[in-house]
Amino acid sequence: MKKKKLNLRDIKPQSETEHHHDDGHDHNENKSGFKAYIPAIISFAMLIIGIALDYFDISFFKDWLRLGWYAVAYIPVGLPVVKEGWKSIKRGDVFTEFFLMSIATIGAFIIGEYPEGVAVMLFYAVGELFQNAAVNKAKGNIKALLDVRPKEANVFRNGDVISISPETVEIGEKIQIRVGEKIPLDGVLISEKASLNTAALTGESKPDTIIKGANVFAGSINLESVIEVEVTKEFKDSSIARILDLVQNATARKSKTELFIRQFARVYTPIVVFLAIGVTFLPYFFVDDYVFRDWLYRALIFLVISCPCALVISIPLGYFGGLGAASKNGILFKGASFLDAMTKINTLVMDKTGTVTKGVFKIKEIKAINWDEKEFMKYLMAIEEQSTHPIAKAILEYIAEGTDYEASEVSEIAGKGLKGIVNGKTVLVGNKALMTANNINVLEETETIVESIVLVSIDNAFAGYVVIADELKEDAKETITALHKVGIKNIMMLSGDKDSITQKIASELNIEKAKGGLLPEDKLNEVENLKQNPNNKIAFIGDGINDAPVLAVSNVGIAMGGLGSDVAIETADVIIQTDQPSKVVKAIKISRSTRKIVWQNIVLAFSVKVIVLILGAGGLATMWEAVFADVGVALLAILNAVRLQRMKWD
């Protein structure tokens, strides 16, 4: 069934919209700001005055005057709740917290416990105000992402720069971004260099300096000088639009714990109502000195305690806090269910290229034989200028002083390399098969090199070689160490790269299991084999299109969001915006903290409610204990959930 997207532009504060829960609970419509607290302040003042008049036994404060005073004190906080209870009943949803609170407090008035009736409703109303404030704050953390949505784009059209909506800019158009402005669309930097604040996308506050030709992403802030960018993606496909879409939809995916509590509340509430009826009338048949008023009072206490507010508010708020904390740290969970799933992970499978390595070839070693290194590289670079291979690009990054050489008559020898003429000399560049075919002997040491190697001969003599390798990411080693520390012992690397290279990288990172030379279906089979053991809860980290099938089949699929392909990001359950593998450890820690707080709230709410329910049924608890069991526990649970927004997971 297709889920309706939650559009953050439609999220309104409690003053603008009713807050509906799946269990039929919808909290009071509250005005924003100080006005929301005025009814509670009036009720509180009148309650205190009434209690003082009762305490000093003022003669005129009796009978109808006393009832009228407390009734007026009750109306500001009680009337909205009674109205909501009536609306719920008309919708066919009887057993809501509004119904429970209305019956309990009106019942207290009927038996003459006026101050307690007002107090219960007052504390309930104050609790609701605090709950709404906490929920709105959590929503605010996610809504704050909307502030990074660029409002306009300065586009070059017909020789002028005009400001238009980013949604109307087309691919290939050039845009200008002034100092302090947000980049409105993804593109390629045309200017020589730029300094960007990418905190909105990555969670990293350190400015990022990039040079001409580098990719830039919507939502980044230009820090230093006016820059120009060529647009490569429409706004709907841009980084910031993708992030907003993910965050908006994340709140719609409930965790199993959250869904269970909501379903439980729908069954639990009516059961307690019928138990309260039983507490009122059944003792008549078993107790000699049965007094209806006493047992009705106990039943009313039972009703107040039974409200599941602490659970149905604080648990979603806990997951909300976890999602917000993760997004602040550059980690996007596509739903609360994946926060839960991440806590159960015990097996981590990872891709190599782009995940633990940078996915960019660099020259690792140059060995020239009977040639000056720079002279040797000029011959090699002259040939490689004719190639578009990634290895050729890495070689061309080498800086050799002096005049560059030019190659002629360059031809490609399929599967072996290139041949050409440089400075009147025949130059061969390629693999061992090319050298062997031309009867050129190479050094034996080249046989033991596992990385990509480019062999060079000049005028039919072996001239040397260049080793090209992918670089490890700076935090790759610490990631594996940290994963072991958080209890992830079973780590495996799967790669499409040569097995020898894969094994070497795995050895450097202290990963015991690794397999290279795998096709996408081979990776899928490996993960499927791991899943045959029901005890294995698998997370897979990848970044490429070829990783999408494995991301989909894993218990939790984690994609590298910066360099990762769109297909991988769409398929994954969790997205690492910074491309740092160490963020996976932080994602695990945030998930565990969230689950810990959620279960603390569940245990707190249930244990206190059960204790006070038993005391209330036995006549040992008053309405004041009932208020604590309901509103007090809800507030404690909310304060506990809010802690997630201040935690650090370094």
Render 117-157 in DSSP notation, one character per residue: HHHHHHHHHHHHHHHHHHHHHHHHHHHGGGGGS---EEEEE
Kindly report the number of other CB atoms within 10 A of residue 580's CB atom.
Answer: 22
Q: Is the dihedral of CA 286, 289, 292, 297 positive or negative?
A: negative
**For the purposes of burial, counting CB atoms within 10 Å of the CB of 426, is it exposed (0-12), middle (13-18) or buried (19 or more)?**
middle
**Residues linked to residue 426 through DSSP beta bridges, in sequence order:** 421
In the numeric block, which tokens belong to residue 373?
A: 């290194």
Residue 323: closest CA among 559, 132, 142, 144 = 142
In the numeric block, which tokens belong to residue 189?
A: 């930097």
Candidates 186, 208, 351, 573; catalytic one: 351
Kindly report the number of other CB atoms within 10 A of residue 266's CB atom.
Answer: 17
Alpha carbons 515 and 506: distance in angstroms, whole number: 9
Render 16-83 in DSSP notation, one character per residue: TS-EE-TTS-EEPP--SGGGGGHHHHHHHHHHHHHHHHHHTT-TTS-HHHHHHHHHHHHHHHHHHHHH
351 is catalytic: yes
State residue 601 phi and psi, 5-degree precision.
-65, -40
Q: Is the dihedral of CA 183, 243, 541, 389 positive or negative?
A: negative
* Tokens 């350190």, residue located: 206
In the numeric block, which tokens belong to residue 437?
A: 């075919």
Alpha carbons 119 and 108: distance in angstroms, whole number: 10
User: What residue type is assigned to position 545 of the chain?
Assistant: I
Helices (H) and strands (E) in the chain, counts: 21, 24
Enzyme catalytic residues: 351
